[in-house]
Structure 1
Amino acid sequence: MNRRTGKRLSRLLVEAAGYGSTARVEALIGAGADPDGRDTDGTTALYVASVQGNPGGVRALLDAGADPNAHSGGPTDGTPLCAAACWGHVETVRALLAGGADPGLREDDGAGLSPLEWAVREEHEDVARLLREALPTAVDGT
């Protein structure tokens, strides 16, 4: 596949993940889209699916080999698990944890908030409970 086609597929994959279309995500991956591909802002499809609370898209991307701990590169992006935790998407958090997301990974190269800190800050108790259970030592800074 040439570079131009790869970029186009990556952009389409990020869009599909954002609109919640699991079938479209799967079709684009089947067509050769890189599950870790990024749009022109550096945003990953997994990050967008996590922000939007799209557990089906998250599972499809993880099944295709997307890195569950990759930092998305857009101006306000971070990790998929932090995004899902911040917005209180319980099923998406479950899918990310099942797919190998590190519940202790902080955003901004370790200088930012952890998923648990996001969940506590935004008062998403169900998500905070899941993350506490996933952590070897529950430390949330609160």
Structure 2
Amino acid sequence: MNRRRRKKLAARLVHGATFGNADAVRAVLRAGADPDGADVHGTTPLYAASVHGAADIVQCLLEAGARPDLESRAETDGTPLCAAAAWGYAEVVRLLLAHGADPDLREDDGLGRSPLEWARAGGHAVTARLLLAAGAQDPEAERPPR
């Protein structure tokens, strides 16, 4: 497949993932799109689906081989797990963890927030509990008492 075709398929895949169109995502994957293929801005399909809480699309992409820890490189993007945790999408968090997402992987090449920090910042207790149950390190538990 030539470079131009790969770019077009990646753009269509990210668009379908962003707008929750599972049929379009499946069709583009069948056409040969790379499940990790980012659009021209650097957004990956799995990040786009995760930040919008589209569990059905997340499942589809993971089954197609999308890497759960691949960081999306657009200016405001990050990891799929951080995105889902930040918005409290518990079902998406469960799927990503079940497919091997690292509950401690920080965004911005390891310099940003962790999924647990995002979940807590958003007040998403259920999501925070899921991450802790998956082995996320709890910086609050490591603080000495005052």
Scaled by the length of structure 2, the TM-score of the pair is 0.93
What runs of 5+ residues in structure 2 fail to find an aligned partner?
A: 142-146
CA distance in 2, matches of 1:58, 1:43: 14
Match of 1:58 in 2: 58
Tell me how far 1:138 sits from its aligned partner. Answer: 3.8
Look up the equivalent residue of 1:51 and give its one-letter code: V
Q: Confirm or deny: 8 A CA contact 2:10 2:33 kept in the other structure.
A: yes
Choose 1 or 2 for highest CA Rg: 2
Query: For residues 59-138 of structure 1, what are the structure 2 equivalents within 5 Å?
Result: 59-135=59-135, 138=137
The total of aligned residue pairs comes to: 141
Q: What is the Cα-based RMSD across aligned positions, in Å?
A: 1.2
Q: Confirm or deny: 8 A CA contact 1:59 1:99 kept in the other structure.
A: no
Q: Confirm or deny: 8 A CA contact 1:117 1:141 kept in the other structure.
A: no
Runs of 4+ in 1 over 2 A off after TM superposition: none
What runs of 5+ residues in structure 1 fail to find an aligned partner?
A: none
CA distance in 2, matches of 1:102, 1:35: 19
CA distance in 2, matches of 1:70, 1:115: 14
Look up the equivalent residue of 1:102 and give its one-letter code: D
Look up the equivalent residue of 1:131 and give its one-letter code: L
CA distance in 2, matches of 1:102, 1:28: 27
Tell me how far 1:108 sits from its aligned partner. Answer: 1.1
Match of 1:12 in 2: 12
Q: Confirm or deny: 8 A CA contact 2:10 2:39 kept in the other structure.
A: yes
Scaled by the length of structure 1, the TM-score of the pair is 0.95
CA distance in 2, matches of 1:141, 1:106: 16
Q: Confirm or deny: 8 A CA contact 1:116 1:140 kept in the other structure.
A: no
CA distance in 2, matches of 1:63, 1:140: 32
Look up the equivalent residue of 2:138 and give its one-letter code: V
